[in-house]
Amino acid sequence: MTSHPRFLVTGASGQLGRLVVAAIAERAGPEAVAAVVRNPAGSAALFPKGVVIRQGDYARPETLDAAFAGAERLLLISSNALGERVAQHRNAIEAAKRAGVARIAYTSVLHADTSALGLAEDHRQTEALIAASGIAFTLLRNGWYTENYAASIPPALQHGAFIGSARDGRISSAARIDYAEAAAVALLDDDAPARAIYELAGDQSFTLAEFAAELSRQAEREIPYVDLPEAGYRAALTGAGLPEGLAALLADSDAGAADGALFDESRQLSRLIGRPTTPFAATMARALPVTLSR
């Protein structure tokens, strides 16, 4: 086993990171990829056997030099530390420069350069830092994960309504596995241009009313979509126990979706992974309680 895997994935213990590591291991062999995690203890079970595990924390730059040593290509999965992300990403980019990493791939957001979403600003700043680094890069501008909406299925079933603030905006979401496979394919691409940018979204778009209609079909009972003003949706989310910052981000994203911020019909994602993206109905079926999906 080589002590210096070619490919490095940060934030690897997260839901996306685990899938990316598995996808790279399948394509290039487990010994070719290193999973960078904050807490290595007990994390081996998260990854295929043979994957190298390294300790590294965006917020502790002193841990990153050893974590990045010898890597040729880095997938920088965006931090989930709201308010701290740009500083954390800067730490990783600077460590990549010191390590001589030849390419950085970064999980950004759909149409980051023009998006009105509140969360897009951190991504714009990070993209600018990567561009200024002089390192070749691949920007993976990910659209919405269908799982983001699937997470709202249990309360929708409990309360008899699916709530949101997206009006009739169309959402081109895809499953997390679709984005993970895209990241693996892009990172392994030996012929990528020095500055590659992908706008990644699902082949199929839907409104939240259509999402609720499909939920009603699968659950075999009526679950209407109830559209709320952004402030009302944010209040409902905080009332359900979400932290204020996360609730504000989700409500803002729904409001942005109402104006087309989560819509894209370029099909770059399905072309990159070489197959159609996962239909939202399939992701929904997996998310429904077992008693409803039999």
Element (H, E) at 110: none
- At 59-116, the pLDDT tens digits run 999 999 999 999 999 999 999 888 899 999 999 999 999 999 999 999 999 999 999 9
Element (H, E) at 128: helix 120-133
Asked whether 206 and 280 are in contact (CB, 8 A), the reply is yes
Nearest one of 105, 89, 73, 108 to 200, comparing CA atoms: 108
Confidence band, pLDDT 50/70/90 cuts, at residue 188 = very high
How large is the angle between the packed helices 85-99 and 120-133, nearest 10 degrees? 20
pLDDT at 42: 86
- For 71, other C-beta atoms within 10 Å of its C-beta total 24
Quote the tokens at residue 247: 């609730």
Nearest-angstrom CA–CA distance, 288 and 219: 8
How high is the mean pLDDT of the chain? 95
pLDDT at 2: 44
- At 144-168, the pLDDT tens digits run 999 999 999 999 999 999 999 999 9
pLDDT over 60 (residue 209)? yes
Nearest-angstrom CA–CA distance, 11 and 20: 10
140 versus 288: which is more confidently predicted? 140
Cα separation values, 88 from 17, 124, 129, 245, 253, Å: 17, 14, 12, 18, 23
Residues 6+ apart with CB under 8 A from 33: 5, 6, 7, 8, 9, 21, 24, 25, 51, 52
pLDDT over 50 (residue 197)? yes
Mean pLDDT lowest for which of 18-22, 285-289, 290-294?
A: 290-294
pLDDT over 50 (residue 198)? yes
Nearest-angstrom CA–CA distance, 20 and 182: 9
pLDDT over 50 (residue 181)? yes
- At 222-263, the pLDDT tens digits run 999 999 999 999 999 999 899 998 899 999 999 999 999 999
Please give the full DSSP string across 251-281, using - where no structure is assigned: HHHHHHHHTTTT-----HHHHHHTSPPPPHH
* DSSP tally for the chain: helices H, then strands E: 13, 9
pLDDT over 80 (residue 3)? no
Nearest-angstrom CA–CA distance, 21 and 43: 13
Residues paired with 36 in a beta bridge: 54
Percent of the chain surpassing pLDDT 70: 97
Domains defined for the chain, CATH in brackets? 7-144+175-200 (3.40.50.720)
Give CA angle at 204 (74, 154), nearest 5°.
Answer: 85
Nearest-angstrom CA–CA distance, 173 and 292: 23
Is residue 199 left, alpha or beta, with left meaning phi > 0 and alpha meaning psi from -120 to 50? beta
pLDDT over 70 (residue 294)? no
pLDDT over 60 (residue 45)? yes
pLDDT over 80 (residue 131)? yes
Percent of the chain surpassing pLDDT 90: 93
Q: Is 93 exposed, middle or buried (0-12, 13-18, 19+ CB in 10 A)?
A: buried
pLDDT at 98: 97
Nearest one of 131, 125, 28, 118 to 71, comparing CA atoms: 28
Radius of gyration of the chain (CA): 19
- Per-residue pLDDT averaged across 275-291, rounded? 89
- Per-residue pLDDT averaged across 43-63, rounded? 95
